[in-house]
């Protein structure tokens, strides 16, 4: 269930970005707000720098920092997050709190 939810979010973001098969800062910029990031609020980091930091986090310590987050990197990131969360409900709440603004009704409901 967790992996399915994570995949659905990636697919939705990828669709918004032109279905390239990866996510970039250009894809996330109009979708993900970093306005409340503490360093952005303090003027120590630009919004683009905060978005790049977000992407780097998804690429993980093994990422090549190519500015592209693949599905595999996306899933690996959420697998690492998932390990520390016992409850499926809490994991779902965390995901929806972060990405709920992507939700829209499709033709089939």
Mean pLDDT to the nearest integer, 41-64: 83
Name the band, by pLDDT with cuts 50, 70 and 90, for residue 63: low
Q: What is the pLDDT of residue 109?
A: 38
pLDDT tens readout for residues 69-105: 889 888 888 888 888 888 888 888 888 877 776 665 4
**Best CA proximity match to 13, nearest among 108, 104, 109, 88:** 104
Beta-bridge partners for 47: none
Q: What is the pLDDT of residue 105?
A: 46
Share of the chain above pLDDT 90, in %: 10
Cα–Cα distance measured from residue 78 to residue 45, given in angstroms and rounded to the nearest whole number? 25
Which H or E run includes 70? strand 69-70
Q: What is the pLDDT of residue 35?
A: 81
pTM of structure = 0.75
- Mean pLDDT estimate for the chain: 82
């Amino acid at each position: 269930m967790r992996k399915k939810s994570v995949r659905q979010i990636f697919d939705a973001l990828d669709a918004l970005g032109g279905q390239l098969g990866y996510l970039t800062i250009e894809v996330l910029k109009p979708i993900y707000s970093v306005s409340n990031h503490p360093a952005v609020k303090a003027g120590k980091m630009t919004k683009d720098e905060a978005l790049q930091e977000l992407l780097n986090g998804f690429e993980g310590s093994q990422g090549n920092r190519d500015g592209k987050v693949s599905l595999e990197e996306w899933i690996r990131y959420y697998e690492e997050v998932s390990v520390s969360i016992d409850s499926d409900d809490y994991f779902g709440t965390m995901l929806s709190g972060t990405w709920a603004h992507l939700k829209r009704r499709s033709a089939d409901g």
